[in-house]
């Protein structure tokens, strides 16, 4: 065994050079890997006794792509395209031996080998689109030449990987081998080296391009198909253009087109935001200050209190990953309704072909119902998901304290109430934690994990790990009204309401936010959540527009009327009645109405979110600015190509953010706009969050 670099080894087995990459955790194509492969292939080509080459990886995976952490710095030679050209031009057969995931530059590496073999669990994908990029080392030109244009378009625009069986079927790999990957790959290479026919190169294969060349509408069809999902993103369109170039241009021209578009994306703000977010998401799962030897509490059975929309959605998360869950309701009718809704949800998914009938039964079978909290006595984790009322929650936790086993984790799904107050009614506040799921809980990826002032480290650590198990992205936050997500949202909603009173229409405000990249505007979101959430009918005295809408029975989508009117398919229609109501409310509140520009609306909705984020950081409610961004992208639909509110502020410049906050403070004379001291100090020092 000879070291090519400290990340790549070289040895010869029966005349086959085995180039072994060992760059944990995911064998990314860092500089030492590129250099090692380059030197290894050169050595193999120069050695007459070598008749073939295998590229193999140690550890848990084949090469998972370029090293994203190197993207910000000046690239060091050899660049990936140069390494891959050397592979492509080899006269000796090269075999990629794949296990784990061959992603991005990793898959592109295999596409420059003559052959690809893989274990049955291997996966193959070009996920660059998730980083706001396109495969920049020939992937967009070679993939359609091997799997066909339609499949390649689907892979580059979705970023989703395919499994080994599909890879074999589409022609992407030559063979599925046994678990002794290295030996099987060497044997495969020997068999190919014995042939005296030339070894195939993906770049030479024009056959799979022919049907798209004859049917160029395929590109328009794909654009239309993904338009809604990819609104605002540049990378999906750039990926399509590259595949178009694969069909319409000779290979070398196509490679130039790919390179040009890749550099454009790499230099742009969207890709920077998405690369930042890749690491932000992974960082969020790490909790500073918890000893890494802290033991986790095993969670094998879960109880959920409340079988409504929220409780049912939460329970589905457990059943989806095979964890038995008991739902407790107060009446048989409510329980039947809750369990019925869960079954209906699963059956809907099955009717779309995304779940088998057998899976529906397995998952429903994992969910049992009960009418007595006593049924939760043996649960490892109990999640309370009843409506937002402190007295009710306290009553439940008092009773739970007498029922749950001593090492059970007691969680509340509260979205805004004081977790410490809830914990205080138990004799074990160290076991109490907030698990704030977002609605619909079986769909939304975010889980705000709320650390109470007494929550114990093992409880936090176990819940962070549990979140990953149920496929959520967790962010750890502290206790304050609304925690991170809703506290910031209150600021946006406050300003959205104000600009509407000052003369912007509900539709104008929502369009500005939609165009910024949110899936919906502030008023549509309020209608979706329900305007009556937290509204007290008995105490309502027409003090706000919301009060007046609720008093008129306009609770939002659920009553087909809120800020908008809704048809039977829940499509919003502007309401003249609401416009008049807002105008009237402004007049009675002494607010003069005027034309308000889109720019002012955006500033007034988004700047307070940043300012509140800064206060949250200052108070230690969030551990890091990037955690706030994770909450916003996964919980509130902040467009990931803008990175989240804190990254967005950094990209705009904190000095500019501060200047605008001061401008609105001076304009309105409202303390609401007082900049956070942290923001002021960072801006003054020219620093970033």
Q: Please say which residue, 285 or 362, places its beta carbon nearer to ligand 3H9.
A: 285
Where do we find the tokens 């940043």?
A: 610
- Nearer residue to ligand 3H9 within complex by CB, 110 or 493: 110
Nearest approach in angstroms of CB 199 to ligand 3H9 is 24
Question: Taking the mean position of all CA atoms in its chain, how far away is CA 442?
Answer: 14
CB distance 616 to 484 below 8 Å: yes
CB of 158 to ligand 3H9, least distance (A): 13
Q: Which of 35, 108, 281, 502 is catalytic?
A: 108
Largest Cα separation within the chain, whole Å, is 92
Q: How is 211-238 classified by DSSP, letter by letter?
A: HHHH-THHHHHHHHHHTTTTTT-SHHHH
Please, which residues have CB within 8 angstroms of residue 652's CB and are 6 or more apart in sequence? Answer: none
Q: Which of 35, 128, 329, 384 is catalytic?
A: 128
Strand partners, 435: 449
Does 108 participate in catalysis according to the annotation?
yes
- The answer to whether the beta carbons of residues 295 and 336 sit under 8 Å apart is no
**108 versus 629: smaller Cβ distance to ligand 3H9:** 108
Interacting residue ranges for ligand 3H9, rule: CB under 6 A: 25-26, 28, 61, 64-69, 80, 101, 103-105, 108, 127-128, 131, 135-137, 139, 279, 282
Residue among 226, 268, 220, 225 nearest 241 (CA): 220
- Pick 231 or 282: Cβ nearer ligand 3H9: 282
DSSP states of 567-620: -TT--EEE-HHHHHHHHHHHHHTTPPP----HHHHHHHHHHHHHHHHHHHHHTT
Least distance to ligand 3H9 from the beta carbon of 107, Å? Answer: 8
Q: Which among 476, 458, 87 is positioned nearest to 287, based on CA atoms?
A: 476
Neighbour-count burial for 587-613, b at 16+ CB within 10 Å, e otherwise: eeeeeeeeebeeebbebbbbbbbbbbb
What residues have CB less than 8 Å from 597, skipping those under 6 apart? none
Minimum gap (Å) between residue 268 Cβ and ligand 3H9:
15
- Cα Rg for the chain, rounded, in angstroms? 28
Which helix (H) or strand (E) segment is 101 a member of?
strand 101-103
Q: Decide whether 29 or 315 has the Cβ nearer to ligand 3H9.
A: 29
**Shortest reach from residue 238's CB to ligand 3H9, in Å:** 12
When the beta carbons of 235 and 654 are compared against ligand 3H9, the nearer one is 235
| CB 94 within 8 Å of CB 114 | yes
Q: Which one, 27 or 611, has the nearer CB to ligand 3H9?
A: 27
Spatial separation of the C-alpha atoms in residues 154 and 158, rounded to whole Å: 6
Nearest to ligand 3H9 of 26, 489 (CB atom): 26
Question: What is the distance between the alpha carbons of residues 33 and 603, in angstroms, rounded to a whole number?
Answer: 46
CA 94 to CA 154: how far, in whole Å? Answer: 27
Task: Give me the active site residues, please.
Answer: 108, 128
């Amino acid at each position: 065994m000879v070291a090519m670099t400290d990340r790549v080894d070289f040895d010869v087995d029966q005349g086959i050079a085995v180039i072994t990459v060992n760059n944990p955790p995911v064998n990314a194509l860092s500089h030492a890997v590129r250099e090692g492969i380059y030197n290894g292939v050169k050595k193999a080509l120069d050695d007459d006794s070598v008749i073939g080459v295998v590229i193999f990886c140690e550890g848990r995976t084949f090469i998972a792509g370029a090293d994203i952490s190197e993207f910000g710095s000046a690239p060091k030679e050899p660049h990936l395209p140069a390494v891959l050209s050397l592979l492509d031009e080899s006269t000796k057969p090269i075999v990629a031996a794949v296990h784990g995931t061959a992603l991005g530059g990793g898959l592109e590496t295999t596409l420059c080998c003559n052959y690809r073999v893989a274990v049955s669990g291997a996966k193959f994908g070009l996920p660059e689109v998730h980083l706001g990029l396109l495969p920049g080392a020939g992937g967009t030109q070679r993939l359609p030449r091997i799997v066909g244009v339609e499949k390649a378009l689907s892979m580059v625009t979705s970023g989703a990987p395919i499994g080994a069986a599909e890879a074999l079927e589409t022609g992407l790999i030559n063979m599925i081998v046994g678990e002794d990957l290295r030996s099987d790959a060497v044997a495969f290479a020997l068999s190919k080296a014995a042939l005296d026919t030339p070894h195939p190169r993906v770049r030479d294969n024009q056959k799979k391009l022919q049907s798209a060349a004859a049917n160029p509408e395929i590109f328009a069809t794909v654009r239309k198909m993904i338009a809604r999902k990819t609104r605002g993103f540049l990378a999906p369109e750039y990926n399509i253009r590259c595949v178009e170039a694969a069909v319409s241009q000779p290979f070398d021209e196509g490679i130039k087109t790919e390179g040009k578009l890749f550099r454009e994306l790499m230099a742009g703000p969207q890709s920077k935001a998405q690369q930042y977010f890749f690491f932000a998401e992974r960082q969020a799962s790490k909790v500073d200050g918890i000893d890494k030897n802290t033991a986790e509490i095993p969670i094998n059975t879960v109880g959920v209190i409340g079988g409504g929309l929220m409780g049912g959605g939460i329970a589905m998360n457990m059943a989806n990953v095979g964890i038995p869950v008991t739902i407790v309701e107060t009446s048989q009718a409510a329980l039947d309704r809750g369990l019925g809704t869960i079954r209906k949800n699963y059956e809907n998914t099955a009717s779309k072909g995304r779940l088998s009938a057998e899976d529906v039964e397995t998952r429903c079978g994992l969910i049992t119902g009960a009418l007595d909290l006593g049924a939760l006595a043996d649960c490892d984790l109990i999640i309370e998901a009843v409506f937002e009322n402190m007295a009710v929650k306290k009553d439940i936790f008092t009773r739970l304290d007498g029922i749950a086993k001593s090492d059970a984790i007691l969680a509340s799904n509260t979205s805004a109430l004081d977790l410490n107050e809830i914990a205080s009614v138990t004799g074990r506040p160290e076991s109490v934690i907030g698990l704030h799921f977002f609605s619909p809980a079986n769909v939304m990826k975010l889980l705000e994990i709320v650390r109470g002032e007494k929550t114990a480290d093992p409880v936090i650590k176990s819940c962070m790990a549990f979140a990953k198990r149920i496929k959520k992205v967790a962010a750890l936050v502290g206790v304050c009204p609304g925690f991170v997500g809703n506290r910031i949202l209150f600021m946006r909603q406050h300003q959205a309401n104000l600009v509407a009173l000052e003369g912007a229409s509900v539709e104008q405000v929502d369009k500005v936010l939609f165009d910024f990249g949110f899936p919906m505007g502030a008023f549509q979101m309020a209608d979706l959540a329900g305007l009556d959430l937290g509204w007290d009918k008995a105490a309502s005295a027409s003090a706000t527009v919301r009060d007046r809408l609720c008093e008129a029975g306009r609770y939002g989508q659920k009553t087909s009327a809120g800020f908008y009117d809704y048809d039977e398919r829940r499509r919003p229609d502007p309401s003249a009645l609401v416009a008049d109501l807002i105008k009237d409310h402004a007049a009675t509140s002494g607010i003069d109405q005027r034309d308000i520009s889109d720019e002012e609306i955006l500033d007034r909705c988004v700047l307070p979110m940043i300012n509140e984020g800064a206060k949250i950081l200052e108070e230690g409610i969030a551990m890091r600015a990037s955690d706030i961004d994770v909450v916003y992208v996964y919980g509130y639909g902040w467009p990931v190509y803008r990175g989240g509110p804190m990254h967005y502020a950094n990209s705009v410049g904190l000095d500019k953010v501060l200047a605008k906050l001061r401008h609105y403070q001076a304009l309105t004379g409202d303390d609401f706009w007082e900049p956070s001291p942290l923001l002021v100090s960072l801006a003054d020092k020219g620093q970033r969050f």
